[in-house]
Structure 1
C-alpha cells in the first residue's frame, strides 16, 4: 500500500464547520447570533422606552390637556397653544431673552475657543499645562455651585464690584441690574469654552503643515494662512461646534435660575425660555401648558438645526468635493 493510501486510511476527513452541510444550518446560526445581540440590548431598549420615549409621548398628550398634578388631565385641544401665542406676553419675552442669549453667547464663546486653540496648537513650553488650565472651567460644568459662586462675584459687594471700585469705576450690582444681569450670565457661558476649544485643537492637529509652508512661500502672512488654510479645512469642526453650542444654549437653565433665584429677574431680564417653562409647570402647576411650551421649543430647535445643515452646504468644506 502506498504512503498516500496509508495517509487516507489513518487520517480522518476534516469535520465540517458548524452549521455547514446541513440545510438551514447557517441561517439558524445567524438567527441565534441576532437573538443574543437583542438580548444584550434589551436593558438599553427598556431604558429608552421607560425614560425617553414614554415620557416624550406622555408630554405630547399633556400638551393638549389642562393638568395641575392634583387632578386628572382634562382634554382641551389646542387651547394651550392658542394662549401661548395670543394671550401670554411673557412667553414672547422669554423667547426674546433666550434668542439674545443664543445669538451673543455662541459666537463669542466659539471665537474665544478657536483663538485659544490656535495659540495652544503651537509647540511651546508648558503647553500641556495651559491646555489643562483653559479646559478646567468646562470640567466644573454649569452646575449650581458654579452659578452660586458667579452670583456672589457679581452681586452687590462682590469681588467684581469691589474691583471696579478700586479702579475708580462705579460699583455695579450686576445681578440686580436689568441692564447687566443677562451679560453676566453670557460671561459665565463664555468663560467655560474649554470643551469646544479641545475639539478645535483636535481639528487643527489634522491640518497638514505642508499647506502652511506652501502659502508662506507665496508670501501669505498669519492672517492669510488662517483665512485660506485654517478656516476652510476646519469648517466641519466649526459647524459641529456651532450646532452643539446652539442646541445647548436654547436649553440653558441653571445659571438663570440660580442667579435670579428662580424669578427671571430683575424685570424679567434673565427670564430664559426654560426658566419660564419651569415656572409655568412647577410654580403655577400648569403642567399641560409647560408641556406645550416644551414641544414648541423642540420644534424650534429642530427647525434651526435643519436650517443650519442646509446653510452648511455653502460654507462647510469636507475636502473630497462631495456635496453634504
Structure 2
C-alpha cells in the first residue's frame, strides 16, 4: 500500500510555512489597485522619464561619443573621459572655484538668512517693512543685480571704493582682482538672501512658545534657548537650505559669467571674444566649462563628461549631508 505524498512538506522548506495562493478575485483586485496607483503616478512618472531619466541616459551615451550637434555621433569609447581627467587644464581650476563657492557661499547664505530671519521674528515694530526690504534684493534679476554690483564695486569710479578712500581703507580690485573676485560673488549671493529669510521665518514661528517659556523658567539664557529649543526644531529646514544651496551653487553660471564680462569690458559686441573666468580664471566654474565645450567648441562629448562630473559631485555632497543629518538624529534619540 503506497504512502500518500505530503504536499505541504514538499512545497515548503522545513521550518517555513507554505505559501498560500491568493484566490483569483483577490489577485484581480490587487492588479486593479496597482493599475490605479500607476495611473495616479503617471504624471510624475512621465515627467521623471522625459526630463530626468532620458536626458541622463543620453548624457551618459554622448559622453562616449564624438558629437558636434551637426553630424551623427561617433563612438569613441573612453577617449573623452581620459581627455577630461588627464589632458584638460581648465578642469582643476574650475573644480577648485566651484568647490570654494560651495564651501563659502552656501554656509554664509544659511547663516545670514537665519540671522535675518531671527531678527525679523523678534521685531515688534516695523517688522513688515524690515522683511520687505530684506526680500526685495532676491527679486532683482540675476543679470541686473550682477551688473549693479560690478559698478558699485568698480575700483575706479564705484561708490564703495570712494567711501573706502574717505575712511582711509586700502582699496581692492574686487571683480578685477583674482584674489577678491570670488569673495565679491559671495557678497552678491549674501545680498540676495530673501528666499532663505522667508523659509527660516516660517520655521522659527513654528517653534512652540511653551518650550521657550519652560527653558526660561529653568534659567536658560539666549544661547541655551537657541541650542536646545530653536536648533532642534529648525534642523530639517537648515538641512533643506544646505542641500538646495549646494545644488544651486554647483550650477553657478550667470553671475560669474556676467561679472567677468562686465568687469573685463567685453559685453558681447561683434568681433569680441571672451574667455570665461575673468580675471585670470578666478571665477571659472564647471557650468561655464560645460557651456563653453558644448555650445562654443561644439564638443558635446566632453561637455557631457563635465556634466556627469558635476552631477556626481552634487549627488555625493547631498548624500553626505543627508547621512550627517541621519547621524545627528540618531545621536539625539
Normalising by structure 2, what TM-score?
A: 0.79
> Which residue of structure 2 lines up, in the alignment, with residue 116 of structure 1?
116
> Which residue of structure 1 lines up, in the alignment, with residue 320 of structure 2?
307
1:195 maps onto 2:195 in alignment: yes
- How is 1:157-176 mapped onto 2 (pairs within 5 angstroms)? 157-176=157-176
State the aligned residue count.
Answer: 293
> Which residue of structure 1 lines up, in the alignment, with residue 277 of structure 2?
264
Q: Is the 8 A contact 2:289 2:306 kept in 1?
A: no
Q: Deviations over 1:143-186 (max 9, x none)?
A: 22222212222233222222222322334331111111111111
Query: Structure 2 CA distance, aligned partners of 1:231 and 1:155?
Result: 40
Q: Is the 8 A contact 1:174 1:180 kept in 2?
A: yes
- In structure 2, relative to structure 1, the CA distance for the partners of 1:149 and 1:88 (3 Å cut) is same
> Which residue of structure 1 lines up, in the alignment, with residue 308 of structure 2?
295
Query: Structure 2 CA distance, aligned partners of 1:317 and 1:124?
Result: 37
Query: Structure 1 CA distance, aligned partners of 2:224 and 2:42?
Result: 54
> Which residue of structure 1 lines up, in the alignment, with residue 211 of structure 2?
211
> Which residue of structure 2 lines up, in the alignment, with residue 103 of structure 1?
103
- How is 1:29-44 mapped onto 2 (pairs within 5 angstroms)? 38=39
1:153 maps onto 2:166 in alignment: no
> Which residue of structure 1 lines up, in the alignment, with residue 3 of structure 2?
none
- How is 1:1-324 mapped onto 2 (pairs within 5 angstroms)? 38=39, 49-140=49-140, 143-156=142-155, 157-261=157-261, 263-316=276-329, 321=333
- Identify which range, 105-114 or 143-152, moves more after superposition: 143-152
Query: Structure 2 CA distance, aligned partners of 1:301 and 1:66?
Result: 25
Q: Gaps spanning 5+ residues in structure 1: where?
A: 1-23
TM-superposed deviation, 1:313: 1.5
- In structure 2, relative to structure 1, the CA distance for the partners of 1:207 and 1:153 (3 Å cut) is same
Query: Structure 2 CA distance, aligned partners of 1:124 and 1:214?
Result: 22
Q: Deviations over 1:13-58 (max 9, x none)?
A: xxxxxxxxxxx9xx89x969x78x95x9878766655554443332
Q: Gaps spanning 5+ residues in structure 2: where?
A: 1-24, 262-274
Q: Is the 8 A contact 2:94 2:286 kept in 1?
A: yes
- In structure 2, relative to structure 1, the CA distance for the partners of 1:303 and 1:41 (3 Å cut) is closer
TM-superposed deviation, 1:316: 4.2
Cα RMSD (Å) of the superposition?
A: 2.8
Query: Structure 1 CA distance, aligned partners of 2:276 and 2:316?
Result: 29
